[in-house]
Amino acid sequence: MNEGSESVQVVRRLDIEFASEQGGLMCRGWFYPVPRDDAPVIVMAHGLGGVKEMRIDAYAERFAEEGYACLAFDYRHFGASDGQPRRIIEVRRQLADWRSAVAHVRSIRPNSQIVLWGSSLAGGHVLTVAASDGRVAAVISQCPHTSGPAAVRQLSLRTIARVAALGLCDIGAKLLGKGSVVVPLAAPADQLALMNTPGNYATASELLATAGSAAPPNAVAAGIGITIGAYSPGRHARELRCPVLFCLCTKDNVAPAGVAKQYAQQASRPSIFEYPFGHFDIYMGTAFEKVIVDQIRFLRRHVPAAMPPVLPL
């Protein structure tokens, strides 16, 4: 726990764990409490291969200063959470972890409204989870993966073929009870990776470095390269009845903003903000400062925390 006063300007952070509904393994994360026990709670998780130390804490601290409690967690097989082998990304497992995180918050804060916050792959997960949970008060979906085919089309045919080959090897290895076959997450455009579109490697590396000693390896089980193309959570946007903030990066060539905007416009209560940034820019520096202001304003408008205002409306 990080010690601090009860002032809303100093954020305490508590270690927390809960069992996933699927398999009973423990997910672990951080809970940021605020003075009001019935304050809204924002449930948060990262994108493809990310862990909570990769700037999720920066968002959570700012939200907590505004009076919002936060639960930031790692998926099974990543970070502080259980699960062997490590670095496995399976959509159904991660969605189960999201549902378990929401259920845990409801068990410890039964009088609190719940907001879902997700970025990149998790920006799609929050749409899927909220669509099946009519009690979610609001959603923030940041540079979201909304279309599997659109994401795959960002890669060269050579990269697609090489990733697919590794993915098939990984699936075969698991069937034989062997370890994972891995593929790099991010790399320069001339090297193999799930995300090797031009202009992203430097900022992806910078984001990874923000986690310090908690930084995960820059590689994941390659099976996700086979399945990610079939996952299009943007189709759930039309099912959402709660307010949804879509934070889209117009220079995003990992999770394209164009198709994400098309899906966003199908939601019944969308707020769509566009930023001239790339996929990994939004977590740091000027881009982060811009987006966090807009996200706080969205929260204060739709799920007020009844705290003294910090930002002008």
Could you tell me how many residues make up the chain? Answer: 313
Determine the pLDDT at residue 309. Answer: 46
Measured CA to CA, the distance from residue 199 to residue 114 in angstroms comes to: 36
The DSSP secondary structure of 46-81, one letter per residue, reads: -STT--TTTTHHHHHHHHHHTT-EEEEEPPTTSTTS
Side-chain-side CA neighbours of 17 within 13 Å: the count stands at 11
Q: What are phi and psi of 258, to 5 degrees?
A: -60, -50
Tell me the CA distances in angstroms from 193 to 138, 144, 170, 197, 218, one per residue in order: 34, 19, 15, 9, 9
Taking the C-alpha atoms of residue 28 and residue 191, their distance in angstroms, rounded to an integer, is 33
What confidence score (pLDDT) does residue 301 get?
97
* pLDDT (0 to 100) of residue 24: 83
Question: Is 95 in contact with 18 (CB distance < 8 Å)?
Answer: no
The residues, ordered by sequence, that sit 6+ positions from 285 with a Cβ below 8 Å of its Cβ are none
The amino acid at residue 227 is T
pLDDT of residue 23: 78
For 13, the token pair is: 């952070």
Residue 306 has a pLDDT of: 73
Give the per-residue pLDDT at 307: 57
Domains of the chain (ranges; CATH) run: 14-150+232-302 (3.40.50.1820)
pTM of the model: 0.93
**pLDDT at residue 11, as a whole number:** 64
pLDDT reported for residue 4: 37
* pLDDT given at position 2: 39
**Secondary element (H or E) of residue 169:** helix 157-175
Which helix (DSSP H) or strand (DSSP E) does residue 204 occupy? helix 201-209
313 residues of the chain, pLDDT tens digit each: 333 333 344 468 999 999 998 778 999 999 999 999 999 999 999 999 999 999 999 999 999 999 999 999 999 999 999 999 999 999 999 999 999 999 999 999 999 999 999 999 999 999 999 999 999 999 999 999 999 999 999 999 999 999 999 999 999 999 998 889 999 999 999 999 999 999 999 999 999 999 999 999 999 999 999 999 999 999 999 999 999 999 999 999 999 999 999 999 999 999 999 999 999 999 999 999 999 999 999 999 999 997 544 444 4
The reported pLDDT for the residue numbered 279 is 97
Q: What six digits make up the tokens of 4?
A: 């601090």
